[in-house]
Amino acid sequence: MRKLTTLLFVLLPLAVLSQPVEGQLLKKLKEKAQETVEKAVETPPAKAETTEAARPAAQPGAAAAEQPAAKPAAQKPGEGAWANYDFVPGDRILYYDDFTKDVVGDFPRRMEFKEGALEIVDWQGGRWLRANQDSRFFVVLAEPLPARFTVEFDYAIPAGQVWIYFGEESISRLDVTGDGGVALHNFEAEVNAQGRYSEERERTGIRRLRMLGDGRYVKVYIDDKRILNVPNADLPRTNKIQFYTDATVDNPALFGNFRVAEGSKKLYDVLAADGRVATQGILFDTNSDRIRPESTPTLKEIGTMLTEHPELRVLIEGHTDNVGEDAANLALSDQRAAAVKAYLVEHHSVDGARLETRGLGETTPATSNDTAEGRQQNRRVELVKL
């Protein structure tokens, strides 16, 4: 009996992940079966809030180009798995929410509730949307997803998995399990792609999922690795993204730090045309000038641009939103601009005489700081052609 239970534990999640949902009854039967088998072989913590493996959420609004990440940075850009990491976040923010403007215990005001038990909780210095039973909610955008887009969010799903729908449920779906499995389905095109983090992961830890769409192409990442690379995913472009998650009182699901953006253009193309280009792909530790390893693709693009165009000289500007002390923001933005220059000189052999730096803090916002999207848009690094 023990061998049979173990075999079911290995095979059943893959079956649930790979097969399209043909009806709510069938889906629920699969979910309950999966939950029963998992309880027989795992003893997850009673509350996700007590999980030591999970990280604190990044404090919002502190400084330029700051983004949450899957775990505290232990490597520099370009080291380890990050050397082959190629995700570049979009630059025009369509949706950003870390729940700092919401009331603990409420459902987020900017999302749409569908069913279940969902509430905002405080945990380790951040805000999280917690589901205590199987639940469904929507991220609502002001406009449909563009041809090029990026989607990012943090999650922990100890009870099973989350189904993410783009458009109608009968068209397409992204499945994500708590232990590192991912599958993407386009039912109309009969596309079914599956992948997994290189090793099975603990279900109780906080992960960051990133997704990049470019026309019919879709790439999906968990933490520091690309899991799916699907050239013909052809996801619908709508203004709602639906999340349907497994959860129980003893094993709640957690979601946070949502970011949806329009995909960025090539930096050199914009710089050559406009004389300046903004990027949010250079990320820093909270209240620090330490560059995070997720910045690898953007820094590589800048380094390659400067190598291929030796006549190019640029001013590196650091910018923040208006949260925090003016003087502190100004000083930190200056330090971060200098850190970008130092990295390009050291790792891409760029002549330092071609690079100047300046920190502008909150003095030149790209847009209004009145919304979460605006504040996120204002936390950036800009390159100015000299």
pTM: 0.77
- From the list 52, 63, 207, 46, the residue with the least C-alpha distance to 124 is 52
Burial class (CB in 10 A: 0-12, 13-18, 19+), 18: middle
Taking 3-state DSSP, the helix, strand and coil percentages for the chain, each rounded to the nearest 5, stand at 25, 30, 40
Domains belonging to the chain, first-starting first, are: 92-262 (2.60.120.560), 267-385 (3.30.1330.60)
Whole-number Å distance between alpha carbons of 264 and 86: 13
Whole-number Å distance between alpha carbons of 321 and 307: 31
Structure-token match 């007590």, residue found = 50
Whole-number Å distance between alpha carbons of 81 and 79: 6
Whole-number Å distance between alpha carbons of 168 and 237: 11
Whole-number Å distance between alpha carbons of 336 and 290: 8
Pairing of strands 161-166, 380-385: unpaired
- From the list 342, 280, 353, the residue with the least C-alpha distance to 314 is 353
Pairing of strands 314-319, 355-361: parallel
**Backbone φ and ψ of 117, nearest 5°:** -130, 105
Q: What DSSP character marks residue 18?
A: H
Q: Coil, strand, or helix at residue 241?
A: strand
Q: State how far the alpha carbon of 326 is from the alpha carbons of 70, 179, 332, 359, 363, in Å.
A: 29, 42, 10, 12, 9
List per-residue pLDDT tens for the chain, 386 residues long.
Answer: 444 444 443 444 444 444 444 444 444 434 443 443 333 222 222 233 333 333 333 332 233 334 444 444 457 787 777 877 899 999 999 999 999 889 999 999 999 999 999 999 998 888 999 999 999 999 999 999 999 999 999 999 998 899 999 988 888 999 999 989 999 999 988 999 999 988 777 887 899 999 999 999 999 999 989 999 999 999 999 999 999 999 999 999 999 999 999 988 889 999 999 999 999 999 998 889 999 999 999 999 999 999 999 999 999 999 998 888 999 999 999 999 999 999 999 999 999 999 999 999 999 999 998 888 899 999 999 999 99
Burial class (CB in 10 A: 0-12, 13-18, 19+), 283: buried
- From the list 362, 360, 276, 259, the residue with the least C-alpha distance to 312 is 276
Burial class (CB in 10 A: 0-12, 13-18, 19+), 117: middle
Q: Do 333 and 361 touch, CB atoms closer than 8 A? A: yes
